[in-house]
Structure 1
Amino acid sequence: MSRSSSGAAAAARSIASGETSAEQVVRDCLDRIREREPAVGAWQWLDEQHAIEQARACDRLRDAGGPCGPLHGVPVGIKDIVDTADMPTELGTVVHAGRRPASDAAVVWALRAAGAVILGKTVTTELATYSPGKTRNPLDATRTPGGSSSGSAAAVAAGMVPLALGTQTNGSVIRPAGFCGVHALKPTHGALTLEGVLRVSPSLDTVGFFGTSLEDLELVCGALGAFAPAQPLAAPPRLAFVRTPLWPRTEPALRAAFDEMLERLGGDCEEWELPAALEPAWDWHTTIMEAEMAFHLRAEWDRRHELSPSLQGQLARGRETSAFGYQRAQSGAQALRSALGEVFSVYDAIVTPGTFGVAPLGLESTGDPAFCTPWSLAGVPACNVPLLKSPEGLPIGLQLVGARGADMRLLRIASWLEGRVGP
């Protein structure tokens, strides 16, 4: 099965119609993994025979006329901070090497109930923070794939699997999707339960998805039943372009790509400036994240000599955060949510960068997540739309942000944007 025909939605249709089998789809993915994995390193745990056995069970159920869910036979990769009862979940750290959960995370259970084949566990950074894992960018092995959902983004970008699960606390879905050039959705905070997912900062943690197309993202959202269906767009959406105070730090290639896109959009997109009172949003996010990390990773703190210096620093700062500082940051987050509510009463979505440019060279860092920070803090949905490229052909992160709870509508707007702007 070629990369172009290996999307989740296409695979689901082919399996349901009998045109192909779940086993063949899984075997195609495994062939691709054997071809690309040595250079990419997207997988933390993979048992080919276990994946094939799951696929055969799907085929037997279909052939017997049993109930088939919307993801029946579709392979999915799972970020290795999300519990799986039949596979290790090691959380990206030697502290939890060999960890075997007793049960699936709720979102994994829901994927299985929808018929998905859990192909394996994808690489995460250390405890879903900043210290990189082994994964390389499949478009250029000298560049980072981003993080912390590095393996999930790279696996989809390399054509190893059509869908993969990730999480985002700051920029861990949108940033790697931008660097690897794949579609991704970071849903509204709280839309999907975090039961069985590593708690880093529950005020911010969000389960998200990577796919080969917007259709794939719509499919998995619909299969999970946690998102209100969206009606077709009755008119062209009104878009707000937000530079944020970070704009001067962006790369020239990104600024040129956005200028060209905005020219094509014309009157369908107007500029909106983040109010000065909300500019501490980045500091508020850091305060909340580090304080909550310090509490939820307190067991890991007892073995901090086994953690990276960057994570030790985050946990140390979090342990020193005052109750006043934490509550002030939470109040600021609420002010940001209120301000965005006013924006979305006028505009249908916000257009803004998801990255500062192309994936940085080197594997020591996962890149800067700051363009994702205010939207993660506000808990609103965001998606990466891989429309923009540098002159060298590397993807540039284009982030589309929607109103809280309007996840499926945001995907419809993203589809309109793809048609309106084109490659």
Structure 2
Amino acid sequence: MIQDDLTRLSAVDAARAIRDGRISSAALVQACLDRIAKTDGQIRAWAQLDQDIALAQAHEMDRIRKSGKATGALHGVPVGLKDIIDTRFLPTECGSPVFAGRQAEANALIVDRLREAGAVILGKTTTAELAYLHPTHTTNPHNAAHTPGGSSSGSAAAVAAGHVPLAVGTQTGGSVIRPASFCGTYGLKPTRGMISRSGLLRTSGSLDQVGVFANTLEDMGLLTDVLSGFDAADPASFARPRPSLLEGARSDPPVAPDIAWFDMPYHDRLSEDARDGLDAVIEALGARVERFDAAPQLAGLTDVHKTIYDYEIARQMEQLVADHGATISSEMRAAVRRGLAIGEDQYQDALAVKETADAFFVEHFNDFDAIMAPSASGEALALSEGNTGDAIYCTIWTLAGLPCLTLPLLVGSTGLPIGVQLIGAAEEDDRLMRTAAWMLRSLAEEK
């Protein structure tokens, strides 16, 4: 039985219904476009949207299915792409007037992977300027006076608003996990190197990673499995088999998972409602969660992340700032000045510490299935505060390249969503998904 509102279908259900001929891709895409037309005047999640291009893709997917040819894992399912991901058929403007009307000569590799899987690229979602700090005009679907987070602002907002079942973003600090938390969606940044970055705006070669947004755990797994694969042109990519995240989301753990919680010194930045909610989750899971005081070396990794990020983004953006001056935001100009003041020795020392962090977490996950942590400081900030929120709750895990996801489990004091983050072992993303599925079931049983 297919519900009347096709925009409420999960990606897994939509793909199955299209393959079975119970709905058409064209009908699903039109439903998404209608919802966007009705609600995006306030949310403003989309940077590029061409109805004719979207529907042409959908009709082609329907023609392929009717002809009896092979169908892909996302056949006919619409997906939104953060507007730093190159597409030949839509402009890629990176949230900056500097790139207005920019047309890429080739698709990013992940765009070709999506199309090979039969996905319909619905459009390009908004991003903070150059995927950094200066906010875009997007609002939070739950309350238009609040930020959706950043820098993957439009991807989170579009999924939360029911514009599209799936969207792709990127994370260099906390740009997937935080907006997913603020908008009440599921968000996942897989292991560094799982997904190609070729054809994406580069801000930090050491830290940039691709992530996804969805409304179910299974949908996140399905999209990540489609995007994953080796890319010889990406130095972070690895030529090894990848775990199946969809299979992980559908699996039961052999034994109840063990989860660690680190009391970090910066947890004093948590809002009261976020702290109370996280404590309630820990209490509900009982003996499965073990709390630790964070060693100073662990908490200090946030500074290591900052050094690497500042150094690398400055060198990526130095010429752009020099050429375009006041067209670039004050946040980016300040980042370039700050990063250029970091010497080579300091940068190399930070990279060396990063390598030791990678080794620490290998040892840690011998004893624990996951780490639990805040996804963000609390509810989405008011737009009047002029920023997209604090990324500190994500930076250590991004630095170490670990898979991390956020579950939309909590509601704050004003009714806005708050996520709970889980972090897993590198290249064991399926194990992380399995642990997340167990946690969702366990908490549901406690209610």
Measured against the shorter chain, the TM-score band is: over 0.9
Gap change, CA 1:25 and 1:4, over 3 Å in 2: closer
1:365 and 2:387 matched: yes
- The Cα shift of 1:3 comes to 7.0
Gap change, CA 1:170 and 1:3, over 3 Å in 2: farther
Q: TM-score scaled to structure 2, two decimals? A: 0.92
Question: In the alignment, which residue of structure 1 is the partner of 2:146?
Answer: 143
CA distance in 2, matches of 1:71, 1:345: 35
Question: In the alignment, which residue of structure 1 is the partner of 2:159?
Answer: 156
1:104 and 2:107 matched: yes
Gap change, CA 1:124 and 1:225, over 3 Å in 2: closer
1:374-389 equivalences in 2 (<5 Å): 374-389=396-411
Q: 202, 220, 228: which one pairs with 2:243?
A: 228
Greater displacement, 206-215 / 331-340: 331-340
Greater displacement, 374-383 / 359-368: 359-368
Code of the residue aligned with 1:73 in structure 2: it is G
Code of the residue aligned with 1:410 in structure 2: it is L
Residue ranges of structure 1 left out of the alignment (5+ in a row): none
Question: In the alignment, which residue of structure 1 is the partner of 2:365?
Answer: 344
CA distance in 2, matches of 1:81, 1:224: 16
Code of the residue aligned with 2:171 in structure 1: it is Q
Question: In the alignment, which residue of structure 2 is the partner of 1:328?
Answer: 349
Question: In the alignment, which residue of structure 2 is the partner of 1:70?
Answer: 73
Greater displacement, 7-16 / 408-417: 408-417
Gap change, CA 1:206 and 1:419, over 3 Å in 2: same
CA distance in 1, matches of 2:45, 2:227: 25
- CA displacement 1:185-227 (0-9 Å, x = unmatched): 1011111111000000010000110011001011112223533
CA distance in 2, matches of 1:171, 1:297: 20
- The Cα shift of 1:232 comes to 4.0
1:34 and 2:37 matched: yes
Residue ranges of structure 2 left out of the alignment (5+ in a row): 230-241
- The Cα shift of 1:328 comes to 1.1
Q: 182, 195, 199: which one pairs with 1:196?
A: 199
- The Cα shift of 1:4 comes to 7.4
Greater displacement, 225-234 / 103-112: 225-234
Report how many residues are paired: 423
1:23 and 2:26 matched: yes
In the alignment, is the contact (CA less than 8 A) between 1:105 and 1:197 conserved in 2?
yes
CA distance in 1, matches of 2:67, 2:162: 30
1:116 and 2:116 matched: no
CA distance in 1, matches of 2:121, 2:301: 37
Greater displacement, 226-235 / 42-51: 226-235
Greater displacement, 11-20 / 390-399: 390-399
Code of the residue aligned with 1:101 in structure 2: it is A
Code of the residue aligned with 1:300 in structure 2: it is L
Question: In the alignment, which residue of structure 2 is the partner of 1:400?
Answer: 422
- CA displacement 1:308-347 (0-9 Å, x = unmatched): 1111000111112101110111112122222222211100
CA distance in 2, matches of 1:125, 1:367: 12
CA distance in 2, matches of 1:298, 1:3: 46
CA distance in 2, matches of 1:139, 1:79: 20
**Partner of 1:33: helix, strand, or coil?**
helix
1:178-189 equivalences in 2 (<5 Å): 178-189=181-192
In the alignment, is the contact (CA less than 8 A) between 1:45 and 1:120 conserved in 2?
yes
In the alignment, is the contact (CA less than 8 A) between 1:278 and 1:332 conserved in 2?
no
**Partner of 1:76: helix, strand, or coil?**
strand
Question: In the alignment, which residue of structure 1 is the partner of 2:233?
Answer: none
**Partner of 2:293: helix, strand, or coil?**
coil
CA distance in 2, matches of 1:4, 1:63: 22
In the alignment, is the contact (CA less than 8 A) between 1:3 and 1:159 conserved in 2?
no
- CA displacement 1:239-280 (0-9 Å, x = unmatched): 111232111121110111111111110001111332112332
In the alignment, is the contact (CA less than 8 A) between 1:354 and 1:399 conserved in 2?
yes
Cα RMSD of the aligned pairs, angstroms, is 1.3
- CA displacement 1:368-390 (0-9 Å, x = unmatched): 11100111111101001111112
**Partner of 1:297: helix, strand, or coil?**
helix
Q: 257, 265, 277: which one pairs with 1:245?
A: 265
- The Cα shift of 1:27 comes to 0.6
Question: In the alignment, which residue of structure 2 is the partner of 1:292?
Answer: 312
CA distance in 1, matches of 2:325, 2:215: 38
Code of the residue aligned with 2:167 in structure 1: it is A
**Partner of 1:387: helix, strand, or coil?**
strand
1:201-220 equivalences in 2 (<5 Å): 201-220=204-223
Code of the residue aligned with 1:344 in structure 2: it is F
- The Cα shift of 1:102 comes to 0.6
1:301 and 2:321 matched: yes
| Identity of matched residues, % | 43
**Partner of 1:49: helix, strand, or coil?**
helix
Question: In the alignment, which residue of structure 2 is the partner of 1:2?
Answer: 5
Gap change, CA 1:4 and 1:408, over 3 Å in 2: farther
